[in-house]
Structure 1
């Protein structure tokens, strides 16, 4: 395409399901920005976006920004695998070490590259990066976020005008409102001044629908109310992006995964303890482990502490065979590590991966009953990427984008190569499809 490079805004709404875009009235929600604006004026995927394995927030967001599967980018979960607690509950806040991100490539190809609150953005190479990061929810978070922002000091400069940046622990509507204010501030105070000289690529993120659904249920009144408020914030953000743009603007709205309601909790570590692979003390605290299950919502990966421990390996194998054959345990699939890596492109370091049946959320508890109907969260994701309920969303509007075109379905790995094509940036590491090929033809 022979034209001035356009601005690109990527908005992620955590857990936004495709039916909210295609048929919001069915669920009693009014979404003029998330739904009508895109379906009337752009392209959208009515059948949803196939997520990755596992369909968990951090894994998915690194896929969105790199166009690669988890076994390639290396982020397999939200939280780092850490049975001993030596990492103090650290999350995978950081960009992949293995493949380039759109932020890096955009900057290298003449774009002003920016991001506000996008998961897995610590360490991103860009011009203005305020990542999702936290320590303990106190004022220390501001100092940490400021230290890892690009340029260093950006977060504190921003907070002088808009108040405290929410980091990643405030997943409320108020937190999203401040994420929106941060994105608007960045557009008006940093990006606008450069926009006549260079185009911008910017990412931002809204978390409160997902969190409210976890607490109250996917289609609960509380979750739907959060979604309507996010819609207003998306509208404000889009309006600001148009206002500061002297060049053409493309907007892409995505989500990372869907969600479904839970009705049971299951705890594979209870089985590992019963098999002698986890030991606890008199206070039921873990004293040692030879195999450990770490949850990712509706899936979990099980690793051996020592892969050369043949006795533990055999015990684990027997337990996995038992789980595979017994009934009524809430397990849909028992995968070997090779199966997870080769056929599902995730959990490359696992010895085994368990995939739960719909509604059976996996927890990490070691003691207590293996299965209960007492829930920790009313809704969850991380289930099989093959479930329709785990489908994510994709919409795009901008120059030369057909109006009202339904793309049917696509894959989460398609987002990055599609936006790279829009920005005329080569992205040979991407493993997805450039969706523009479905509606753009060569001049």
Structure 2
């Protein structure tokens, strides 16, 4: 299969929404891409619509039920900071960067989720120190390209301020510009989280979120400039995309509080879990309910009765209850006992203490206990789509694809690079491609 482009630059602006399109159309660098490229204003995301499953879908073309990354974090009941699905081995099957590597194309990834220990030439994986004895730089170096990361940290490490935004994305940007100019990769995956962070802590339509969009436009401009300075702009394709949208919330619900009251979660005097029969695994706007022993019908029926009772009263914040089979049919983890969807204005946590329902205050958000906006909700929620903009070699000029699915992105990118991801849930979007 012939390649349609020599250099594919995929830029994920985490939490970029279809509702942002009217705003970024007025920003100079997004405007430049839109003027000479094509776009889809309504990209339907996956379920659950959280970052790690979304990014695994983007590079595989498959739903979470198939690629295996069914939530951001692992099921670790009682762990106040569960480990994330950081590593490549969490993804079942092949990926866009695996196929590029097989084709002897040069690959680079900057803070792209689920790439720790991946076979990527220039890899700075998204992973953080999650143990008291871990050091962030050492963890990153161990799980990515050591010499490449050392060089990026030597040059630009002074920009970073831990995981805080916008400094983290500013660091990623400088590393991306340097990599484009010096390495000229055939495939480059870049993940920016500035917008997502500010929506979480200030709200979807906050001034802070708007300022993050402006910074993203500047970052996009710097990447376009780097491609020109490297002499590869005319041989490159730029993809700007989002992974999910977000919704404001004012109330947090804690199903584990009720599961504990029902005797399905046991805790010690310090409030730590010692054993469990059923557990609520949060995906923010949705959540899995797992039954430890899948043959335990007594616990299953007890949990079902509890959820059915909660759903009756809209004040409890549960819009829908799915069983495991139904969750799997929607692309989520079919091994769960149940999957619950939060109503508008609510989101779900794994908290064990206090009451089932908490009203979110500014003080709690500042303390990092809660957020003002979340994702993870069903893709069927209104005004919840994301977008994709494509420009450059191999892309039609001026085409508008009315709608597509997140699973279609990987196969489309593979076609641009003359690659094939095999039998995928999504398909190449021919309406974007020049051939």
* Aligned counterparts of 2:2 and 2:305: Cα–Cα separation in 1: 62
1:3-60 deviation digits (Å, cap 9, x = unpaired)? 77421100000001123223447xxxx52223x12221111112x2100000101110
1:289-316 deviation digits (Å, cap 9, x = unpaired)? 2110011111000111222333322312
Per-residue deviation at 1:164?
5.6
Instruction: Describe the shift of the 1:205–1:362 C-alpha distance in structure 2 as closer, same or farther (beyond 3 A).
Output: same
Matches within 5 A, 1:64-75: 64-75=58-69
Is 1:380 matched with 2:374?
A: yes
- SS of 2:168's equivalent? helix
Matches within 5 A, 1:285-434: 285-342=272-329, 344-375=330-361, 376-434=370-428
Alpha-carbon contact 2:399-2:431 (below 8 Å) kept: no
- SS of 2:325's equivalent? helix
Matches within 5 A, 1:39-188: 39-46=34-41, 48-85=42-79, 89-95=82-88, 96-136=90-130, 140-150=135-145, 152-163=146-157, 170-188=163-181
1:160-202 deviation digits (Å, cap 9, x = unpaired)? 22226859x614011110010111122223x14xxxxxx6110
Alpha-carbon contact 2:267-2:275 (below 8 Å) kept: yes
1:312-368 deviation digits (Å, cap 9, x = unpaired)? 2231222233234344211111010111002x1112321111001112111111121
What residue in structure 2 maps to residue 196 of structure 1? none
What residue in structure 1 maps to residue 367 of structure 2? none
Residue 208 of structure 1, aligned match among 166, 177, 194: 194
Q: What is the TM-score of this pair, normalised by structure 1?
A: 0.90
Per-residue deviation at 1:418?
0.4
Instruction: Describe the shift of the 1:379–1:402 C-alpha distance in structure 2 as closer, same or farther (beyond 3 A).
Output: same
CA RMSD of the aligned region, Å?
2.3
Per-residue deviation at 1:153?
2.9
Extract unaligned runs of 5+ from structure 2: 362-369
Residue 33 of structure 1, aligned match among 29, 32, 36: 29
Extract unaligned runs of 5+ from structure 1: 193-198
What residue in structure 2 maps to residue 195 of structure 1? none
Instruction: Describe the shift of the 1:200–1:374 C-alpha distance in structure 2 as closer, same or farther (beyond 3 A).
Output: same
* Aligned counterparts of 1:314 and 1:440: Cα–Cα separation in 2: 51
- SS of 1:163's equivalent? helix
- The number of residues matched between the two structures is 424
Q: Where in structure 1 do 4 or more consecutive aligned residues deviate above 6 Å?
A: 1-4
Instruction: Describe the shift of the 1:379–1:268 C-alpha distance in structure 2 as closer, same or farther (beyond 3 A).
Output: same
- SS of 2:383's equivalent? helix
